[in-house]
Structure 1
Amino acid sequence: MTTIVVVDNHGQFTHLEQRSLRDLGVDAHLVDNETPPEDLEVDPDGIVLSGGPDMDRIGESPAYLEVDVPVLGICLGMQLIADQLGGTVGSGDYGGYADVTVEIVDSDDPLTGSLAPETRVWASHADEVKTLPEGFELTARSDVCGVEAMSDTDRDLYGVQWHPEVAHTEEGEAIFENFLEICEA
């Protein structure tokens, strides 16, 4: 059975990320972001960095980028990846949660490509990735956010600005299914 650790960055939907993975038959473990990777009680096949309120509360999350398994960042998790690896994060022009149409710009991307050409998602744009880190490709955008998703397939690092775990996101389960395939490859 595939094991994925969900690192809790204190987001309001983190428990739904774990539940979505369990519904796919994944052995999903939720850990507080103050837990360093070396203290995990399991050997994960993948890591999800959850959403959360702000970058000041990311705890040990950056250390999970050094674990040699695929990583999926959701909302704040994606912003954390960008910030730690040389991209930039800033305030969004739009702000709070909204139903957004996302355009998939890379139909070959292993995480988002199956959603092409567009999908409806539930996302917060209070903060967002402004510039991609080196090695990352833009995989989705919207009219309210230039970087809705990004991937570095060489390092198996992926991020989405939206919340695939909530019912308002049309193809959220597909994101988790695709990430599971990446982890099992």
Structure 2
Amino acid sequence: MASHPPFGITVCGIEELGGHAALGATHVLSILDPDYPVPEAFGQYGEHARLERRFHDIIDPMPGMILPSPADVDAVLSFGRLLQAEAAAMLLVHCHAGVSRSTASMVLILAQAMPHVSAAEIIGTVYGIREKAWPNLRLLEMGDARLGRGGSLVEAAFGLYRLQLERRPQIADFMLGEGRGREVAGGRVSPPLRL
């Protein structure tokens, strides 16, 4: 990628947080299920700014579950703006598995920080640091609208879904079972993301 993020970035799941304690993260975006306890691994981290958001990893309403909201997207973007004011910022974003909510949030933060970089490059950057990335479509749809990207982040995500479906065909059944049919359908009709 020709344009590099203006701050350090990494994505992980809860089980990997302990292994990232020495990373020197200055900013941590922590995305958790509503009733999940705060991970103990943060006790090993040095001083850092941390934003915690709580919602389920869903893209459409499901009984008893909390959708990502516009307020969540606004909070993520506001947190992202803090990074741009610091010279040596290092951002760690995590969710439960480091696959969906976290990668979508990282895409939005990078899209905001690099408005002249294409959506495909931004999605490719996130894929480059997290090969199993499958960004949450609802977060991308709301964030794309907030950032005035004209649907390009969603289109690039469909390309990534297609790439993942080609490389890991079994993921389709899992995502369909999780109520993520819109993502699978978009991926099936899109050309794969060119890396």
**Structure with the greater alpha carbon radius of gyration:** 2
TM-score, normalised with respect to structure 2: 0.30
TM-score, normalised with respect to structure 1: 0.32
Report the structure, 1 or 2, having the larger helix content.
2
